[in-house]
Amino acid sequence: MVKYTTNFTFTKMDEIKAYILGLMWADGWITSTKTECAIALNDKEIYKLANIFYPKQNRKIETRENSNCKILHICSKRIVSELEQFGFIPTKSKDGIPIIPNGFEKYFLLGLLDGDGCVYHKEGKNLRVFYCGNENTMTIVKSIIKNELNIDMILSKVTSNGEILLESRSLNNNGICFTLQSCGVKDSLKLLNYLYENTYGIPFLKRKYLKYKECVKIRETMDECVLCHTSIIRDSPTHKYCEDCKDLVRRLKNRQQDEYKKFGFKMELEFLLLPHDKQDIDLCALSEISSASL
C-alpha cells in the first residue's frame, strides 16, 4: 500500500489556506475518530488541492460510484487538530461555528461560496449570490459582508422534507438550513468583485468564476442607469434604469400618487425619498424625471 505524507499546516495562515478552510467548512469534514479529514468536489480543481496537501505524490482521489463526486482523503491527526482550532467538529454542518482567521475573511468566503454557494445570472439582467449553511455560519458571513462592504444580505430559514434546490442544485439535505441572498445586481457585483480580487494562485472553481466573468462581460457593453450610473442592458429606447432604480421610481410614483390624493398636489420625487433610498442616487437626475413615466 502506498503511504502518503503531508507537511501541510494551517498554523501559518495565508490566502490559499484561508480559501481551503472556507471550502472545507462547506464541502469537507473531519471523522468522529479525529484521525482523518476530507474534501468532496465535483470539479477538477480537487486535483490542485491534492497537490497542495501532497505535492508531487500523485495522491489517489476517491470517486464515488455512479457519481461525479471526487473525495480527497487527508489522513493526518495533526491537520484535524489544527482544523479543530478553527471550529471544526464532526457535526459542523448542523451546529458548527467557524473561526475565520483575521485578515483573510474574503478568502474564506470565496472558499465557502465555491462549496456551499451559488452565482446565478440570466443574460446580464439578473445577478444574485447565494450562500447556504447552518444559522451560526450564515449569521457570521452576513456580519462580515456588512462590515467589509456595507451590503445587507437577506438571511432566510429554509425548511424542506426533501432536498433544497437552488439553480437545480442540491444545497442541503438535512431538512433545515439557512440561506443568504444578495439584493440586486449592484450589490452582487460588488461582492463578487471583492471576492475575486487578488486571487492569484488560489484554486477557486472555474465554473463559478466564469459565470461571474460572463455577467461582467455582458454588462461592460451596456448603457448607464440615469439614477445610479450602473451599467444596464437597454432593451428599448425607453429603458433608462437598472432594475433596482426602476423599482425605486415605481415606489416613488406610488408615494407621489398617495400624497396627491391626500393633499391635492404632486410632490417632487426627490422629496419622497426615504433615508435608505438616498444612497448612490443622482438627485439632479431624479428631479428631471419627476413628471416623466417609466
Q: Are residues 126 and 172 in the same domain?
A: yes
pLDDT digits (tens, 9 = 90+) for 129-163: 999 999 999 999 999 999 999 999 999 988 655 44
Query: In 3-state terms, what secondary structure has residue 21?
Result: helix
Residue 1 lies in a domain: no
Q: 164 pLDDT exceeds 50? A: no
- Which positions ≥6 away from 173 have C-beta within 8 Å? 162, 163, 164
Nine-digit cell at 262?
391626500
Asked if 61 contacts 72 with a C-beta cutoff of 8 angstroms, the reply is: yes
Residue 53 lies in a domain: yes
pLDDT digits (tens, 9 = 90+) for 44-73: 999 999 999 999 999 999 998 878 899 999
Residue 294: predicted pLDDT = 45
Q: Which domain holds residue 264?
A: 231-288
Q: Are residues 57 and 95 in the same domain?
A: yes
Asked if 11 contacts 79 with a C-beta cutoff of 8 angstroms, the reply is: no
Task: Tell me which residue of 105, 138, 131, 104 sits closest to 116, measured CA to CA.
Answer: 131
Residue 10 lies in a domain: no
Q: Are residues 128 and 243 in the same domain?
A: no
Other CB atoms closer than 10 Å to residue 292's CB: what's the count? 11
Q: Are residues 78 and 152 in the same domain?
A: yes
| CATH classification of the domain holding 153 | 3.10.28.10
Nine-digit cell at 113?
461560496
**Cα–Cα distance for residue pair 222/118, rounded to 1 Å:** 24
**Would the pTM of this model clear 0.75, i.e. be above it?**
no
Asked if 212 contacts 245 with a C-beta cutoff of 8 angstroms, the reply is: no
pLDDT digits (tens, 9 = 90+) for 224-259: 788 887 767 655 555 677 778 888 888 888 888 888
Q: 293 pLDDT exceeds 80? A: no
Residue 9 lies in a domain: no
Q: Are residues 51 and 130 in the same domain?
A: yes
Residue 268: predicted pLDDT = 83
Q: 168 pLDDT exceeds 70? A: no
